[in-house]
């Protein structure tokens, strides 16, 4: 069960979220935000944010943005069909924030872009993805 510290803030919803420590923010938005306070446990051998964690943050922000199209709480499950990440700059310690933005789609697939920025608003990575709502019969 997700931990809700305040309306629209989602923590501890998944094992990955609990393990890594990121937060999803869907407060009254059409774009979800996902942030992480980067610590030494999130860095790679070059002492910068691991690319897999950067991609996970973008995937989470984009997936929650997809969810917001059908659920104001941002918790309706969506599957990532594809996600392409472009790494622009390294991130070290401090807060990074990913934001998803709906760019198109139809009844079954949504197209969403994402940006990951550091606390100085420097672009760290971008992503483009395709997301599909999990059918109700799969949830049973």
Number of residues written out for the chain? 140
CA 88/CA 97 separation, integer angstroms? 14
Average pLDDT for 98-111: 95
C-alpha 86, offset from chain centre: 15
Chain segment 58-69, per-residue pLDDT in tens: 999 999 999 999
pLDDT at 78: 94
CATH number of 3-139: 3.10.129.10
pLDDT at 73: 85
DSSP secondary structure letters along the chain: --EESSTTEEES-SHHHHHH--EEE-TT-SS-EEEEEE-GGGB-TTSSB-HHHHHHHHHHHHHHHHHHTT-TTS-S-EEEEEEEEEE-S---SEEEEEEEEEEEE-SSEEEEEEEEEETT--EEEEEEEEEEEPPHHHH-
pLDDT at 36: 98
Nearest to 102 by CA among 61, 54, 137, 136: 61
Per domain, the residue ranges of the chain are: 3-139
Q: What is the mean pLDDT of the chain?
A: 92
Chain segment 60-101, per-residue pLDDT in tens: 999 999 999 998 888 889 999 999 999 999 999 899 999 999
């Amino acid at each position: 069960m997700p931990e809700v510290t305040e309306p629209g803030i989602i923590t501890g919803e998944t094992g990955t979220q609990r393990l890594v420590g990121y937060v999803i923010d869907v407060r009254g938005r059409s774009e979800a935000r996902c942030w992480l306070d980067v610590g030494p446990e999130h860095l790679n051998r070059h002492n910068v944010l691991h690319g897999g964690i950067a991609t996970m943050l973008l995937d989470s922000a984009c997936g929650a943005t997809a969810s917001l199209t059908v659920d104001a709480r941002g918790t309706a499950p969506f599957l990532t069909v594809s996600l392409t990440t472009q790494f622009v700059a390294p991130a070290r310690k401090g807060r990074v924030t990913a934001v998803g933005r709906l760019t198109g789609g139809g009844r079954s697939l949504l197209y969403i872009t994402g940006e990951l920025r550091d606390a100085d608003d420097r672009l760290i990575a971008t992503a483009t993805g395709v997301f599909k709502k999990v059918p109700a019969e799969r949830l049973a």
